[in-house]
Amino acid sequence: MRYMLGTNVVSHLVRAHPSVSRRVASMPAGHLCISAVTEAELRYGLEKHRGAHRLQSLIYEFLASIPIMPWRHEEAIVYAQFRNSLERQGRSLAAHDALIAAHAKSLGLILVSNDQAFVNLVDMPFEDWTH
């Protein structure tokens, strides 16, 4: 694997965002994954929008098609170090964004997101596929 898709990029993908869809389609098999934290965020979104049956189908289809990386002890250690480093830099991220970023970092993956909070983070490989 090379890339971990963040929650907002997955949302763009299931809504058929042209550049995100093109980029995902161009990836060789096995190069993409998501964090268990992203899965939790997607399922939370579905709980909030229970009547969105088409969206629910798209999300479930997506979840069945991609490796979901489990959250382990190693990720907890990297998260603690990563969050401390952010605070020392005077930066902050939403809790779930920090968890996903630490997960990608711990696995040596590039985080794919269009959240500008990730721009210029030290030692955090990041790509925005929405352009």
Annotated binding residues for Mg(2+), written as ranges, equal 97
- Dihedral sign for Cα atoms in the order 70, 74, 80, 85: negative
d(CA 13, CA 10): 5
Question: Phi-psi region for residue 90, left (φ > 0), alpha (ψ -120 to 50) or beta?
Answer: left
Query: Tokens 């909070």 sit at which residue?
Result: 117
User: Which of 10, 31, 34, 21 minimizes the C-alpha distance to 104?
Assistant: 34
Rg (CA), the chain: 15
